[in-house]
C-alpha cells in the first residue's frame, strides 16, 4: 500500500469516442522504440471485444480467496493488431487508397461503434481505459523478479526496467491487460500516469486533452477534491470489473443517459433503457444500481431548478477544480532549484527504482547545489 493514492474518474456519459486522449498518449509515449502497437490509453466500444481482443476473458487478477488467477498473454497480431502502412506515395499516380498488407485480421477498434442490440434499439457506449494503478496490482503480484513497484508518494505503478527480464508473467497477471511487452528491448512497459507531468502539478496528458472533459484527477484522500466527492461522497464513480480483485484506482461514472427503446409502431417506450442493466452490473458490480439512482435524482433536482453539487461537478466547469494535484506536495519531494532537463534526469533515475534496485541517492540534487555559491553549508543538504 502506498501512503497516498492518485486516482482518475471518467464520466462515461460524456465520452464521445473522439480518441483525442489516445492520440495525446500515443504521441507522448508510444509512437516509437518498440511501443508502436501499444495503446496505454485506448477507447473501446461496449458491448464489444475491446483492446486487446477479449481482454475480459483473458484471466489474471485474483480469485475470491485472494489467489492469483491464471491468465494468458494476448497474441500480438490476432489480439492487439499490429500497425500497418498505407500507399500514400502511390496516390499521386492515381492509385486507390489501400493498406500495404495482404491480410488484415484485427486491430484496435476493429468493432468500433458496432455495440449490441437490434435496430432500432441498438446501443453502445465508450469506455476509455488506462492502467488502473491498482492498490493490489495483479501485474506486481505475478512478477517473479519484483520488477514492478508502487510509488509511496502517489501509488503510481511502474516497471523497474533494469530488473525486468521480459518474462511477461505480469501480462498474464493483469486482468485488464494494461501492461505490454516491448519486443525491441524485451521488457514490459505500461502507462506511467504521466508522472513527469504530475510531479509538475499537471494532470496526465489524456485527461488534460480530453475534449469531452470527462476526466477528473486527484488524490483519493483529498476530501475537498472532486475525485473524493465522486468516489466516496456521492458514490457514483465505480471501478471497472471490481470482481477481478486488484482494487483499481480508475473509476467510472456509469452511462445513465440514452434514448428510449422503440416499440413495433416505432413509438418511444416511456422509462425504458436500451443497455441491459445486467451488462452494467457485469462491468461495475451491484453498486451500479445505487449510482444510477443517485445520478437520476440529482439530474431531476437540477431540472427543477434546485442546487446540485454533483451535477455541477459533472458539468466540469473548470480544469482547476477537475485536476487537484497538490503541486506543493510534489515540491516537497523534489528540489525546487532543479530546472529544465536536470529535473527530468532525476525523474528518469527514479523511474528505475524498484524494490530490489539500489536506491538512487538524491545526489543529483546535491550535485546541482554544489554548483551554486555555498552561503550556508547547513542549508545545502536537503536529503
Interaction site with ligand SF4 (CB under 6 A): 15-21, 43, 126, 128, 131-134, 137-139, 157, 174, 176, 178-179, 190, 210-212, 214, 246
CA atoms of 274 and 257, how far apart (whole Å): 10
At 6, give phi and psi (nearest 5°).
-80, 145
* DSSP assigned state of 57: G
Residues in contact with 285: Cβ distance below 8 Å, sequence separation at least 6, in sequence order = 238, 239, 242, 243
Nearer to ligand SF4, 76 or 338 (CB): 76
Nearer to ligand SF4, 35 or 133 (CB): 133
Residues in contact with 366: Cβ distance below 8 Å, sequence separation at least 6, in sequence order = 380, 381, 382, 383
CA atoms of 248 and 304, how far apart (whole Å): 36
Give the nearest distance from C-beta 382 to ligand SF4 in angstroms: 31
Nearer to ligand SF4, 132 or 182 (CB): 132
CA distances from 129 to 138, 239, 363 (A): 16, 11, 37
Give the nearest distance from C-beta 154 to ligand SF4 in angstroms: 13
Give the nearest distance from C-beta 89 to ligand SF4 in angstroms: 31
Nearer to ligand SF4, 133 or 229 (CB): 133
* DSSP assigned state of 233: I
Give the nearest distance from C-beta 130 to ligand SF4 in angstroms: 8
CA atoms of 166 and 321, how far apart (whole Å): 40
Give the nearest distance from C-beta 138 to ligand SF4 in angstroms: 4
Q: What is the DSSP string of 112-176?
A: TTT-BS-TTS-B-EEEEE-----SS-HHHHH-TT--EEE-TTT--EEE-TTT-----HHHHH-TT
Nearer to ligand SF4, 237 or 346 (CB): 237
* Alpha helices (H) along the chain: 20-25, 88-91, 138-142, 169-173, 195-198, 205-209, 226-228, 277-284, 288-303, 309-315, 319-322, 327-333, 340-351, 363-370
Give the nearest distance from C-beta 134 to ligand SF4 in angstroms: 3
Gap between the terminal Cα atoms of the chain: 24
Give the nearest distance from C-beta 206 to ligand SF4 in angstroms: 7
Give the nearest distance from C-beta 276 to ligand SF4 in angstroms: 22
Give the nearest distance from C-beta 340 to ligand SF4 in angstroms: 29
Give the nearest distance from C-beta 132 to ligand SF4 in angstroms: 4
Amino acid at each position: 500500500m502506498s501512503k497516498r493514492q492518485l486516482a482518475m474518474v471518467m464520466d462515461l456519459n460524456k465520452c464521445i469516442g473522439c480518441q483525442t486522449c489516445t492520440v495525446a498518449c500515443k504521441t507522448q509515449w508510444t509512437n516509437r522504440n518498440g511501443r508502436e502497437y501499444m495503446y496505454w490509453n485506448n477507447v473501446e466500444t461496449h458491448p464489444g471485444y475491446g483492446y486487446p481482443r477479449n481482454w475480459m476473458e483473458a484471466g489474471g487478477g485474483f480469485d475470491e480467496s485472494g489467489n492469483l488467477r491464471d491468465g494468458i498473454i494476448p497474441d500480438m497480431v490476432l489480439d492487439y493488431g499490429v500497425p500497418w502502412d498505407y500507399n500514400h506515395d502511390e496516390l499521386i499516380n492515381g492509385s486507390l487508397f489501400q493498406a500495404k498488407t495482404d491480410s488484415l485480421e484485427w486491430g484496435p477498434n476493429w468493432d468500433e461503434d458496432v455495440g449490441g442490440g437490434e435496430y432500432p434499439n441498438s446501443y453502445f457506449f465508450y469506455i476509455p481505459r488506462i492502467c488502473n494503478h491498482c492498490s493490489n496490482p495483479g501485474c506486481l503480484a505475478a512478477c517473479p523478479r519484483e520488477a514492478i513497484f508502487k510509488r509511496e508518494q502517489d501509488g503510481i505503478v511502474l516497471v523497474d526496467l533494469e530488473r525486468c527480464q521480459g518474462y511477461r508473467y505480469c501480462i498474464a497477471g493483469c486482468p485488464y491487460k494494461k501492461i505490454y511487452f516491448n519486443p525491441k528491448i524485451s521488457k514490459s512497459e505500461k502507462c506511467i500516469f504521466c508522472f513527469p507531468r504530475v510531479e509538475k502539478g499537471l494532470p496526465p496528458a489524456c485527461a488534460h486533452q480530453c475534449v469531452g472533459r470527462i476526466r477528473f484527477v486527484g488524490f483519493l484522500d483529498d476530501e475537498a477534491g472532486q475525485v473524493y466527492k465522486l468516489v466516496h461522497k456521492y458514490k457514483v464513480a465505480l471501478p471497472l470489473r471490481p470482481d477481478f480483485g486488484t482494487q483499481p484506482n480508475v473509476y467510472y461514472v456509469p452511462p445513465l443517459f440514452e434514448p428510449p427503446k422503440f416499440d413495433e409502431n416505432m413509438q418511444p417506450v416511456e422509462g425504458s433503457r436500451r443497455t441491459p442493466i445486467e451488462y452494467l452490473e457485469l462491468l461495475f458490480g451491484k453498486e451500479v444500481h445505487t449510482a444510477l439512482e443517485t445520478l437520476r435524482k440529482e439530474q431531476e433536482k437540477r431540472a427543477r431548478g434546485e442546487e446540485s453539487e454533483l451535477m455541477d461537478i459533472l458539468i466540469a466547469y473548470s480544469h482547476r477544480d477537475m485536476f487537484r494535484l497538490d503541486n506543493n506536495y510534489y515540491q516537497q519531494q523534489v528540489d525546487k532549484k532543479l530546472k529544465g532537463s536536470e529535473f527530468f534526469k532525476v525523474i528518469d533515475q527514479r523511474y528505475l527504482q524498484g524494490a530490489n534496485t539500489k536506491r538512487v541517492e538524491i545526489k543529483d540534487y546535491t550535485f546541482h547545489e554544489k554548483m551554486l555559491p555555498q552561503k550556508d553549508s547547513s542549508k545545502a543538504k536537503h536529503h
